[in-house]
Structure 1
Amino acid sequence: MDDEPAENISGGYLGGGESTSFETGAAATRAEAVVDRLGERYWQKTYGGQDAFECLVRTILSQNTSDVASQPAHDALVERYGQDGPAASEGDSVGLAASLADAHHDELAETISSAGLYNQKAETLIRLAGRICEEYGCADGFDEFVRSEDPVEVRETLLDMKGVGPKTADCVLLFAGGQSGVFPVDTHVHRITRRLGVAPPDADHEDVREALEADVPAEKCGFGHTATIQFGREFCTARRPACLDGPEACPLYDLCDRVGVDELDESVVDPADAADADQ
């Protein structure tokens, strides 16, 4: 079993949590069987313990870009605006949220430029930092809210923040709040679960989340999320999934419906488009 790669912007060693072993081999659903197979190949972990505001920052930086691009942006942001960074304050050490709330837009945008959409993300980070400082006093207060309040209330509050979508909210609940039963859905998870056939081909991100959280045991949802992302990077890519190289090339071949994948002519379409063509 592999260690979770450090460059995983959501998980990795910076994502908190700890290695855990779960019982596999008696899956009640195909979605659970998929997660079990990935857990045997990659890692089994429970998550939680990441600072809630930094988790929010990391996930926003990862929106619409790869970890390869967002990780350097995160590191540059922390270096410049973190507790010990030169932009934190004049001689005093302040938290990241307070520092970002007072940041100049253009300076922050330049700092995170490797993440893409940097002007929009800089605006979002400054606005969120200001709201968190105003409503929770500091990042510590926000962290306490995420960890101690009802997860449904936390999710609703996060979704009320402009710039925070379902995946970002769910990542905060999982990696900071340590909530089991939360399966964040990014582009990899959305593509793969529909291609596998464990979610309807025309399901949107929220439909996929609901299907996975219903069919995967709560304690397996967290590593199911991170391991599915890794599987998408290594095997089930958007343009050329490994199954096009034969059944032996994909470790999930026997569990997959390959919706939208034509192995004969080696064509690949979105599962929703494949479903429309069959009607």
Structure 2
Amino acid sequence: MSEEPAENISGGEDGSGAAAMFEERPAETRAEAVVDELGRQYWQKAYGGRDAFECLVRTILSQNTSDKASQPAHDELMARYGGEGDLAETLAEADRAELAETISGAGLYNQKSKMIRGAAREVVAEFGDSTGFDAYVRDEPPAVVRDRLLEIHGVGPKTADCVLLFAGGRGGVFPVDTHVHRIARRLGVAPPDADHEGVREALERDVPGEKCGFGHTAMIQFGREYCTARKPACLDGLDACPLSDRCDRVGVSPETGDVVDPSEATAE
């Protein structure tokens, strides 16, 4: 069993965000119907308002590790460097070995300490401090911000999209991690051979912008509780999964118990 937290740190009752209300209406796409069901299963949240630079740091720490490991590392970093001064300015001048030791619980700490200090120096050089960076993320066109974030060493599409969503509060942004990538293709709401960017494009096209944020967080939670990589709940019977009636089960055979990546299921 995975030792993930019971709730996704980026959403849910104990996470950030405010309850979002929507007028009840029939979903216009299968992807929207899935997200609506996920919202009923978990939560409907509107996001935004986090400090952009801290969000960037937090998401870098989460790369290739679990929330169970990265959250304490983030807490340690903030305890040591998040005092009265500006966080970006402080981390730009931080001793890298000390920074690496501080975040060691997150895994890949030498690599991540370089990324974080490098990102801090870039933010300070171009935006002055965390406040200037935060204003840029919130106020500039999302596509412009995303392209600029992707220029920072260590920032990939998922990290950039998380900053846009959780700090900038941008609608229409659906970050794609390993859970979302797997589940969207299994469900059949994204092409089975789509890479992470292909899944993002499909979901952002077919899910209303105001629902993308909670679609992201709830899909992650669904992936942890029901649609795991090796043993999705439907192997125990279709009634074990709350989304069974909306799922194409691409790459999953409850009859035989076989589970393969969706791209392999259609390669034959």
Q: Which range, TM-score by smaller chain?
A: over 0.9
Q: Report what 1:177 is aligned to.
A: 168
Q: Per the alignment, in what secondary structure is the counterpart of residue 78 of structure 2?
A: helix
Q: Report what 2:239 is aligned to.
A: 248
- Gap change, CA 1:232 and 1:166, over 3 Å in 2: same
Among 106, 109, 121, the residue aligned to 2:97: 106
Q: Could you tell me how far 1:53 is from its partner in structure 2? A: 0.3
Q: Report what 2:51 is aligned to.
A: 51
Q: Give the Cα–Cα distance (whole angstroms) in 2 for the partners of residues 170 and 163 of structure 1.
A: 13
Q: Report what 2:188 is aligned to.
A: 197
Q: Give the Cα–Cα distance (whole angstroms) in 2 for the partners of residues 135 and 143 of structure 1.
A: 12
The answer (yes or no) to whether the contact 1:14–1:50 under 8 Å persists in 2 is: no
1:85-234 to structure 2, matched below 5 A, reads 93-234=84-225
The answer (yes or no) to whether the contact 1:55–1:176 under 8 Å persists in 2 is: yes
Q: Per the alignment, in what secondary structure is the counterpart of residue 267 of structure 2?
A: helix
What's the TM-score, normalizing by structure 1? 0.91
Q: Could you tell me how far 1:10 is from its partner in structure 2? A: 3.3
The number of residues matched between the two structures is 264
In structure 2, list runs of 5 or more residues that go unmatched: none
Q: Give the Cα–Cα distance (whole angstroms) in 1 for the partners of residues 92 and 235 of structure 2.
A: 49
The answer (yes or no) to whether the contact 1:6–1:14 under 8 Å persists in 2 is: no
Amino acid at match of 2:73: A
The answer (yes or no) to whether the contact 2:12–2:42 under 8 Å persists in 1 is: no
Q: Report what 1:89 is aligned to.
A: none
Give percent identity, aligned residues only: 69
Q: Report what 1:31 is aligned to.
A: 31
1:62-81 to structure 2, matched below 5 A, reads 62-81=62-81
Pair 1:235-2:201 in alignment: no
- Gap change, CA 1:249 and 1:24, over 3 Å in 2: farther
- Gap change, CA 1:207 and 1:146, over 3 Å in 2: same
The answer (yes or no) to whether the contact 1:62–1:70 under 8 Å persists in 2 is: yes
The RMSD of aligned alpha carbons is 1.5
The answer (yes or no) to whether the contact 1:15–1:50 under 8 Å persists in 2 is: no
Q: Could you tell me how far 1:9 is from its partner in structure 2? A: 3.7
Pair 1:61-2:61 in alignment: yes
Q: Any idea what the Cα deviations from partners look like across 1:50-84, whole Å, max 9, x if unmatched?
A: 0000110111111111111110110011011112x
Q: Give the Cα–Cα distance (whole angstroms) in 2 for the partners of residues 107 and 266 of structure 1.
A: 48
Q: Give the Cα–Cα distance (whole angstroms) in 2 for the partners of residues 143 and 184 of structure 1.
A: 19
Q: Could you tell me how far 1:8 is from its partner in structure 2? A: 2.9
Amino acid at match of 1:39: G
Q: Per the alignment, in what secondary structure is the counterpart of residue 158 of structure 1?
A: helix
Amino acid at match of 2:202: A
Q: Any idea what the Cα deviations from partners look like across 1:122-181, whole Å, max 9, x if unmatched?
A: 100000001101111100000000011111111110011111000011111111111001
The answer (yes or no) to whether the contact 1:49–1:178 under 8 Å persists in 2 is: yes
